[in-house]
Amino acid sequence: MIIDRESIERAFEQTVWFGFRELKPGCVQIRTPFTYPDGDVIDVFVIDTQDLLRVTDMGETLRHLGSCEARQHISGLQLLHRCVRLGKGELYQDVATPEEVPEAAIELVECIERLCSLV
């Protein structure tokens, strides 16, 4: 599966997002209108893993919250959204097609915001 900025941007046409940037082939940054508690913008990244598309925070949520403090709330996180996973410090969701990316990104941002509200 090959992705590019345009295919991800087309999938988001009906949603509200700040912008898109292809960081490198197979990795698209989506700048959202949402922020972490410290005011930094929540960015979501779409990474082509060959078989699936991974919608991820690339570890930014735990970095912003402080990994020790945030990890105490991960069990609550799993109750907040069943599709979002935690692995190697990243919150992520895997999807099969670019058309599924907008919903996965929204779910990921919702999960990040809920996690931030727990801490």
Q: 40 and 64 in contact (C-beta within 8 Å)?
A: yes
- Does the pLDDT value for residue 81 go beyond 70? no
The whole-angstrom separation of Cα 45 and Cα 57 is 6
pTM (two decimals):
0.79
Report the pLDDT value the prediction gives residue 95, as an integer from 0 to 100: 96
Q: What is the DSSP string of 16-56?
A: --SEEEEEETTEEEEEEEEE-TTSPEEEEEEEE-SSSEEEE
The pLDDT tens digits for 9-44 are: 777 776 666 688 899 999 999 999 899 888 899 999
Q: Torsion angle, CA of 61/58/45/4, rounded to 10 degrees? A: 170
The whole-angstrom separation of Cα 51 and Cα 77 is 26
